[in-house]
Structure 1
């Protein structure tokens, strides 16, 4: 049975002019996530990343630890939803200042985004986002041979949506799981004759005990 490991990117630069870049802590988290994958002894046949800078840099940093055996392929379908566009249309352009207050505003905006459906005003609607996430996963599963494994460096919204979809409720996945995804956390899917199954979500023992200071959610 093959497995797909979904790795959320390391901490980005919340509140900065350019959010889409890893913070120094984000690079450290990415290195630790790579070491955790090495510890598991998984041999990866395929590696994927979104095209966002925070995803690409997480992939490059983690793969340095994993070794030169796997080359990452970029695929924009693994990109996160555009939180700026969603906030602009559904929350009046909420500024990234206080993390907790912004999360509450974003949650409300995402709820409105989902509710607007295909008629929503954003450049990418919720149905379009869901379709591309599902398509990216389906194509990756199809590319894996029997018993082969893949690793994907992506974002919390993508991971939460796919996990929700595998449990039958992608909307609840995005709204309820997204907010608890940790930076550089690991989610494991398994693929077999019965299709794709969610085995574990948001694993982060690599950020516990002596590494607890590395745990972040945004």
Structure 2
């Protein structure tokens, strides 16, 4: 059987000018994952990443941890949806980043306060009743990830083991599509996607097996490489 490993990027820089850059901890998470894979004898024949900075930096850390080069390609289909845009449609005041950070700072837990706003915003986006409000609707996002998943699946017969670095949203969508099948009704898919996306861990690894019957989910969001040091376990 061929194996596809979907890896969420390391911790990005929430609240900074450039969210897309990994934090120092995010760089460390990526290197730790690479070393963990190497220790387990896992060396992909091909690595693939989205085109965002956090994908590039995460893959660089993983390869450093692996200790050996691997052929690499990019596919923008694995990029994250524009969550800032989705949040701003729901909460227009957040178009001003300083205003957003000031409001969140009023909470005892700014991360949880943002998560609540994020959940509300993505619920509106994924419901499908306001598609015209968004540059990429949830339906379009679903189609994009289905196409990206199909493209990487087509590479598996040749390479057998592929590691793909992406983001929580695309990996959650791919997982939902594999779990429920392409004919899953939109409301069910949205619920599944939200459930998977909500618990996605930085550098979590989702393993997909490709066999005669197609793609099967083997593990979701595995992150044993973070367990020896609890500080490595982050969600945003």
Aligned counterparts of 1:4 and 1:100: Cα–Cα separation in 2? 32
Matched, 1:51 2:63: no
Moved more, 30-39 or 165-174: 165-174
Aligned counterparts of 1:68 and 1:117: Cα–Cα separation in 2? 48
Q: Aligned to 1:133, what secondary structure does the other structure show? A: helix
Aligned counterparts of 2:218 and 2:159: Cα–Cα separation in 1? 16
> How far is 1:71 from its partner?
2.4
Residue of structure 1 in register with 2:7 after alignment: 7
Query: Residues 161-210 of structure 1: CA distance to partner in whole angstroms, max 9, x if unpaired?
Result: 1111112143123211111111111110000110101110111111113x
Matched, 1:108 2:120: yes
Query: Residues 11-34 of structure 1: CA distance to partner in whole angstroms, max 9, x if unpaired?
Result: 000111211110000000000111
Change (3 A) 1:23 1:112: same
Q: Which of the two has higher C-alpha Rg?
A: 2
Query: Residues 43-86 of structure 1: CA distance to partner in whole angstroms, max 9, x if unpaired?
Result: 31221111110111001111122234412211111101101111
Residue of structure 1 in register with 2:234 after alignment: 216
Aligned counterparts of 1:147 and 1:72: Cα–Cα separation in 2? 12
Change (3 A) 1:158 1:91: same
Contact 2:209 2:217 in 1 (8 A): yes
Aligned counterparts of 2:44 and 2:224: Cα–Cα separation in 1? 21
Q: How many residues align?
A: 217
Residue of structure 2 in register with 1:132 after alignment: 144
Aligned counterparts of 2:40 and 2:76: Cα–Cα separation in 1? 28
Matched, 1:122 2:141: no
> How far is 1:158 from its partner?
0.9
Contact 1:162 1:170 in 2 (8 A): no
Aligned counterparts of 2:150 and 2:93: Cα–Cα separation in 1? 33
Aligned counterparts of 2:138 and 2:37: Cα–Cα separation in 1? 32
Unmatched tracts of structure 1, length 5 or more: none
Q: Aligned to 1:153, what secondary structure does the other structure show? A: strand
Contact 2:6 2:171 in 1 (8 A): yes
Residue of structure 2 in register with 1:17 after alignment: 17
Aligned counterparts of 1:4 and 1:138: Cα–Cα separation in 2? 12
Aligned counterparts of 1:81 and 1:190: Cα–Cα separation in 2? 25
Aligned counterparts of 1:46 and 1:117: Cα–Cα separation in 2? 39
**Runs of 4+ off more than 6 Å:** none
Moved more, 109-118 or 43-52: 109-118
Aligned counterparts of 2:137 and 2:45: Cα–Cα separation in 1? 33
Q: Give the aligned CA root-mean-square deviation in angstroms.
A: 1.7
TM-score calculated relative to the size of structure 2: 0.87
Residue of structure 2 in register with 1:177 after alignment: 196
Unmatched tracts of structure 2, length 5 or more: 95-99, 105-109, 181-187
